[in-house]
Structure 1
Amino acid sequence: MEPNRLAAARDDRVATRPLPARLISRPEVGSLVGAIVIFLLFMAVAEPFRNVANVGTILYGASTIGIMAVPVALLMVGGEFDLSTGVAVTTSGLAASLFAWNFGLNVWVGVLLALALSLAIGAFNGWLLLKTGLPSFLVTLGTFFILQGVNLGVTRMLTGNVASSTISDMDGFDSAKEIFGSEVTLGPVNLKVTVLYWVILTSIAAYLLLRTQLGNWIFAVGGDADAARAVGVPVRATKIGLFMAVGFCAWLSGMHLLFQFNTVQSGEGVGKEFIFIIAAVIGGCLLTGGYGSVVGASIGALIFGMTQLGINYAGWNPDWFRAFLGLMLLLATIVNLYVKRKADLR
């Protein structure tokens, strides 16, 4: 081989792409830019947004979305959706409360039974998806309606109204509240425990997705499940595991809902599944699967947290928030497709 051709071949193999090109190919780049723009916008137009004491409130709103956006993002990378996430959070909180209150149990027994139920719902979604071959959109839409009806019907049957009875005077409530509903004060900022859980979940999920064999399996089943199965990837276990991860986080969110407010409204959670999905899409997840970022999904949740409060702080009509959701979804989808094409050129 001629020296020039040999040098060219060597350069093709070892050349390092420029930093801007590497950054633009990351799935979370769009959400990061969006977060910076939203932050600067409300810093300029909303004086309360500049108050350091409100940082905790903004992060709290972001964390309640982020805890669910992280597993939803993993599931979307794996090529599936879950439309039952919003009501599944409510189901978990109601289950813990109703189990403890109706049977006179220690609150922690209700918490553990709710965990088992949430994991079972996730496993059922995954099993039914694989058993029937139906799209996850249809499977989890069915679960959504089932859980919504059960939440309302069982709660009304056992309590006579649409909310769970208070369990604040029962054994184990105080210790459970310390785990799921506590807060810490850092100077002028009050941080809810959900912020800690959000950061931990994001860190663990990002490590698993980018640094482990499990992460490779998730990308593989989302990209082409048949091809992944052909090379030995446990597609069935991976997809069921992803749905169970969603169930676990629904349980964690449900426990915070219960121990933060002492009771749970049976109609709570309807519509939030779309917010979780939109946060994941803003964070770089493609609707077609096989591509995305949990860090980006958390940034998407932060965008929601800033926008929800920023609109109020600025004195704008909050009715425009839904219009913002639709606009962000469309823009994020376009940006994600562009970034994906750039990444494919690597």
Structure 2
Amino acid sequence: MKTTQVQLASTPEGTPTEDNFSLVEVELPSLGESEVLCETQYLSLDPYMRSQISGRHLSGAVNPGQGMSGETIARVLESRSEAFAEGDLVRVMGGWQTHSIHAATEVAPVPSGDVPASYFLSALGMPGLTAYAGLIWQAKPQAGETVLIPAATGGVGAVAGQLAKSHGCRVIGIAGGAEKCRIATEELGYDACIDRLAGDVGEQLDALSPDGVDVFFDLVGGELLHQVSQRLKVGARVILCGMIAEYNAKERMPGPPPALWIIARATVYGLVVYDFESRRQEFVDAVAPLIDAGTLLVPEDMVEGLANAPALFCRLMRGENRGKAVVKVA
């Protein structure tokens, strides 16, 4: 059978456009022993994919003419493995396509329950695990501390901000535009949100938190990391998680002077979410009850149809998404 697939047509110069992608049909191989045929239900779009396009991500590169990679929620159409049956809902790196074939060892079951299946690509998936690992396991926030989270309404930021509030922290977000800031404060519970498009971020941060920041969950890198590193409290923790401000650039910015972290006696963590995969169930067990109780909201920016994946990804890379970017494929 054939699968409809989104391929990289050309490597973007700067911010990606829809012209950098093409929709093609690809013949799938025959199903082998211990393999499963999956039909994609939901596709996750994430900022790290821009680094894959640039050939700078540890998960590998995507070159022109190759299918885009990505995590999916899929339904098993056919199985030659005793571990999975037709109709099972699974989580797998199915990529930007309608159908895919995988070894059974590459597929994980999606737990049954009342939450939407797409949540296992957001708050109960990789973005949620990223937020939980970085904030709870690495930063270890304490009640009363000030936590600063840029990309405050995105897939990782929205979860991290709400987790920080649940631990009694004062949480300040940074987002692009008044509407995103409204979502952060009125819907996600942030104590305040800085509009990065409306004035100097450093000056706004000084006004909101003149004593500095205890935890900085850095999702963007770039100039913001420099600005916040000058405003750390003694004993601060800095979680280096993402560099979305630099993904569209050819060259990386130099990092902040180490003296800024030394003066603050700061602990700086590099977060790679794959290192915490073995603790995924522990994270799900902690976060799922918060979602069930309605105390942790899951904002999603969802479009229907695989053909609309490039447009949503381009909006994500322009910072125009509102919540976790997800494509409903089937």
- Normalised to the residue count of structure 1, the TM-score between the two structures is 0.24
Which has more strand, going by share of residues? 2
The structure number with the bigger radius of gyration is: 1
Q: Which has the higher contact order (CA 8 A, sep 6+)?
A: 1
Q: Please, what TM-score do these two structures have when normalized by structure 2?
A: 0.25
